[in-house]
Amino acid sequence: MGELRHDGFRPHVSVACSSAAGPAQPAADALASVTSSPTTARITRAELIVLGRDRRMYEWTSFATVRLG
């Protein structure tokens, strides 16, 4: 299976998010110590969500679900 790309997007999983100023080095050091290899995942459904950020955090509700495969 080849690497999937669309308009520069590379599928990924986020491992950290910050909404405040601070040094990036502690997070960079922690990530640098991790050894990993590519993996695959079986996706069995897709959801259309209503995404909001009204209370300074991401919140969502499911609008529709489609089974895949």
DSSP secondary structure of 6-69:
BTTB---------SS---SHHHHHHHHT-----------EEEEEEEE-TTSS-EEEEEEEEE--
Res 67: pLDDT: 95
Residue 3 lies in a domain: no
Is residue 40 in some structural domain?
A: yes
Cα of 11 vs its chain's centroid, Å: 8
Domain that holds residue 51: 25-67
On whether residue 57 sits in a domain, the answer given is: yes
How do the pLDDT tens digits run along the chain, 69 residues long? 455 556 776 667 777 777 789 998 988 898 899 898 888 889 899 999 999 988 878 899 999 999 998
Residue 20 domain-assigned? no
In a domain, 50, yes or no: yes
Total structural domains in the chain? 1
Q: Model's pTM, two decimal places? A: 0.45
Q: Is residue 43 part of a domain?
A: yes
Q: Does 16 fall in a domain?
A: no
